Amino acid sequence: MSLQDYLTARQRAAQGVMEKQPKNKRLYSKLEYKAKKKFPSHPSPQSLKWLEMEYKKRGGTYEGEM
């Protein structure tokens, strides 16, 4: 995989993350604050995954999800 392919794939992945809009913005904001405290390099793949898992565990859903 070339550097250009890697960057393109990474940009597509970033856009996929950004397309999801949380329905419960207050809960998402609280968890985002906690992720920033827990992970020194937020946003990182690990912190974003933790944020998504924690949001869903607490009953949060995203726009377009059933």
Q: Are 54 and 31 in contact (CB under 8 A)?
A: yes
Decide: residue 55, CB within 10 A, 0-12 exposed, 13-18 middle, 19+ buried: buried
pLDDT the model gives residue 12: 59
Query: Span 52-62, mean pLDDT?
Result: 93
pLDDT at 56 over 90: yes
Q: Is the overall model pTM greater than 0.85, yes or no? A: no
Long-range contacts of 44-53 (CB under 8 A, 24+ apart): 48/17
pLDDT tens column, 1-47: 566 665 565 665 565 555 678 999 999 999 999 999 999 887 888 99
pLDDT for 64 equals: 73
